[in-house]
Structure 1
Amino acid sequence: MTGALVAAMVAAGGISGTAAAAQPQQAQPQQTRDCRTYSSTTRCGDLQLNEKQRTCVTSSVQLGMTERRAEVECQATG
């Protein structure tokens, strides 16, 4: 009897959340910002680096760090 009652409630839409669960979720728009986080420091977009920071990036890349990470870390430290 209980199973029949539950089935009737679901068919009638009496249990909340069942209709929403059956519908596909809409896709979230992609973020267009170019953000990256290293060592708890987040930077977005093209970074404006001074001469000292650009030198730091060049040196760090030569030592094996990725350019994107070097930009963030060199900007954060200098």
Structure 2
Amino acid sequence: SGIPNRAFYLLATALGGNAWERAGQIWFDVLTGGELTATADFAEFARLTVAAAGDRFGERGEREAVLKAWSEVGVPTAE
């Protein structure tokens, strides 16, 4: 699915460094955290990534970067 991939790319680019250090950990937390269902849509996945960024990194720049990445690809995050 190209939309989440684009959001990941935008996030990883915004955060800089190695993609697996921050952006990858956020995506991994969502994919393995148990809240993502088989029927989740892009908006639900986006919401979970925002929450995962907050859980892992607190209210630092990572969470805001996740919100911005989803906004840039046109997926609402309910914030």
> What TM-score results when the alignment is normalised by the length of structure 1?
0.29
If asked which structure has higher relative contact order (CA below 8 Å, sep 6+), I would say: 2
Q: Which has the higher helix share?
A: 2
> What TM-score results when the alignment is normalised by the length of structure 2?
0.29
Q: Which has the higher strand share?
A: 1
